[in-house]
Structure formats: structure tokens, C-alpha cells
Amino acid sequence: MNKFFTSLLLDGQLAGDFATKVLPVLRYVLFGIIVASAIVMIITTLMQSNNSSDNLDAFTGTKQESYYSQNKGASRDSILKRITIAMAVVIFVCVITFFVTELIAGIR
């Protein structure tokens, strides 16, 4: 039985099957994950609040310290920011993997 697998690997039949059957399916899955992550990233970016007035508070002196401003780590914007960063990492990893599988399929 062991000689059978060795001969298959040497002949390239298993590598050929992997490149022709598994890689196209993997690329479709990766592309779907990229599209879904991009949509989630766009939505979470648009849902974040615009804090452009925070920069002017030092000049105007209208900065008000509240419980909400002191605990921004657990706020809605903080959670949306973490989701946005996570989706960017997922997109980056999936794009790199997508192109590596494309190179492997092209070599074969």
C-alpha cells in the first residue's frame, strides 16, 4: 500500500488532482470570504461616528469630561473599530492565500 502512494506522488497524479480539483474550489471560497469581509468592513466604517470636533476642543476649551468619554474602550465606536481592523486582516490573509493558490495552479 505504501508503494502505491509513493508511486502516485512520484507520478504527480495526486499533485495534479489537488491542483485541478481542490484549488479552484478553494479560490471560490476565498473570493467569497473576501467579498463578505469587504462588505462588513464598509458597513462598519460607515457606522463609526465622526469625531472631527474633538481636535478643536483644545483651542475652544469646550472639552467636557464624562463617563462615556473616559470609557471609550467599551463603546460602540471601539467595537466597530476592532471589527474593521479584524476584517482588514482577514481580507489581507485571504488575498495573499488566493494569489498563492493561483501561483500553485499556474505552475502545475
Indicate the SS3 state at residue 64: coil
The count of other CB atoms within 10 Å of the CB of residue 11 is 10
Residue 54 and residue 86: Cα distance in Å, rounded?
Answer: 25
- Residue 98's pLDDT is 93
Q: Pull the grid cell for residue 34.
A: 473576501
DSSP state of 75: S
C-alpha cell at 71: 470609557
Predicted confidence at residue 12, as pLDDT, reads 52
Sign of CA dihedral 74, 77, 80, 85: negative
What is the structure's pLDDT at 92? Answer: 97
Residues of the chain with pLDDT under 50: 1, 5, 8-10
- In whole angstroms, what is the distance from residue 63 CA to residue 44 CA? 27
Instruction: Please tell me the predicted confidence (pLDDT) of residue 89.
Output: 97
pLDDT value for 104: 80
pLDDT at 62: 63
pLDDT, residue 77, reads 84
Radius of gyration of the chain (CA): 24
